[in-house]
Amino acid sequence: MPNKKNTVTDLQGLTHLLKDAVVGITDLVEAMQKQIVHPPFLPSTPIQHLISDVSQFAYKNIRWSASFVGSAVDKALEQLTFILGEIKTTEDREALRAVLNGVIGDYLEKHENPLKIAMQFRHEAQALSLNSKSLKKAYPTLHGKILVMVHGSSMNDLQWTRKAHNHGAALAKELQKTPVYLYYNSGLHVSTNGQNFSNLLEALLQNYPVPVEEICILAHSMGGLVSRSAMHYAQKQQKSWIKHLKKIVFLGTPHHGASLEQAGNYVDVILEATAYTKPFARLGKIRSAGVTDLRYGNLVDEDWQDADRFEMKHDQRQHIPLPEGVECHSIAGVSGKGSTKPLSSQWLGDNLVSVKSAFGQHKNPSKNLHFKKENTWIAYECNHFDLLSNPEVYHRIRQWIKK
């Protein structure tokens, strides 16, 4: 049965975004006009000041109208619930929400937008209540071996299923494990999600209906950074769940950053360089805290606190080593064939994450993660998202998890 209340809530969330977009674009246009009417380094005439005063009044009216329309639409949506009809919650709708959270999730969180994603564990696209009764109902056959699936940036738990294959479902069936899928707002800082993930795992452990034998984590892309952050905070805060964690497998995780976000930072600097292009730098700064954390692979609060996350800086992260006592494995994708020149394949990797970053190799030896050679593997002719469905990737994961 379609949930009309959720539909209205999502539409209200979109209304807030549209309203704020109008205001944001108005700010941008006003800033550009100021640069044109008042050229840099030149004195302004009384006529130029008059033009600015009139324009400022017009822009103020546009902002006021946008706020008024947004409020009116919110009220109208509340009253028109009954005419929305049978609107189903589709995978496409879930995917769109995940992308919005990935790109501007910190904004959604800050402004309490109804489209924000609250971190939770899910099973078959349904939120799991962390109490014994609910867990038994969700899993008729519960195993003491838990497999936690952690998705990547701008994605959700449903997207583990690709080309009719789901690593978690297949591993659960073959190896008798209970699959639990994390669902989170990937636009928040990695360290924020890491701490919340750690707390959620602790709650799962405390309320699990049967004795927990082991926990394994399978993490894709940013999910690997969130998992490493969770492990760090769990050890620091002496959480119980970390003692049960036996293995973690990273799929295309940018341990030392993703080249696309590093390139995006260069764009920020270029746009900020001149007075006429500076207003457009605001467009580059729409991307979320989660995205900018991908520049170098931030894991802890100290990596971003008291700093301008859009400022061009070298890698200044704290070094967080892989946890002791946990078997850590990593798979890197390479979009080209095995015969591709080694240097180009290492740099391009799966088109989003290089092989060196996926394997935790850094130009500064003190920041290397030191994966064991036998615990790393390259999947050729495999892009970033093929890692979720490639049969050879699954076979390798299964070998590692089964041991």
- Tens digit of each residue's pLDDT (9 = 90 or more) over 211-237: 999 999 999 999 999 999 999 999 999
331 closest CA partner among 387, 385, 381: 387
Distance of alpha carbon 280 from the chain centroid: 24
Q: How many angstroms separate the CA atoms of 204 and 223, rounded?
A: 18
**Please, which residues bridge with residue 55 across strands?**
none
Beta 161-162 vs 165-166: how paired, if at all?
antiparallel
Q: Which CATH number is 120-257+318-402's, of 3.40.470.10, 3.40.50.1820, 3.40.50.970, 3.40.50.1000?
A: 3.40.50.1820
Residue 288, classified by CB atoms within 10 Å of its CB into exposed (0-12), middle (13-18) or buried (19+), is buried
Token readout for 153 is 């940036």
Q: What is the CA radius of gyration of the chain?
A: 24
Residue 241, classified by CB atoms within 10 Å of its CB into exposed (0-12), middle (13-18) or buried (19+), is buried
pLDDT of residue 25 exceeding 80: no
The H-assigned helical ranges of 254-293 are: 259-272, 281-284, 289-293
Q: How many angstroms separate the CA atoms of 303 and 313, rounded?
A: 12
- Asked if 117 contacts 125 with a C-beta cutoff of 8 angstroms, the reply is no
Contacts of 164 (CB under 8 A, 6+ apart): none
57 closest CA partner among 15, 26, 101, 98: 26
pLDDT digits (tens, 9 = 90+) for 117-155: 999 999 998 999 999 999 999 999 999 999 999 999 989
Task: Read off the pTM.
Answer: 0.80
177-to-49, 62, 142 alpha-carbon distances in Å: 70, 56, 8
The pLDDT score that the predictor gives to residue 90 is: 63
* pLDDT (average), residues 37-53: 51
The percentage of the chain sitting over the pLDDT mark of 90, rounded to a whole number, equals: 56
What does the mean pLDDT of the chain come to?
A: 80
Residue, of 219 and 62, whose pLDDT is higher: 219
Q: How many angstroms separate the CA atoms of 342 and 340, rounded?
A: 6
The angle formed by the CA atoms of residues 71, 72 and 75, to the nearest 5 degrees, is: 90
Consecutive H or E run containing 376: strand 376-380
338 closest CA partner among 272, 306, 382: 382
114-to-5, 89, 203, 302 alpha-carbon distances in Å: 11, 15, 25, 29
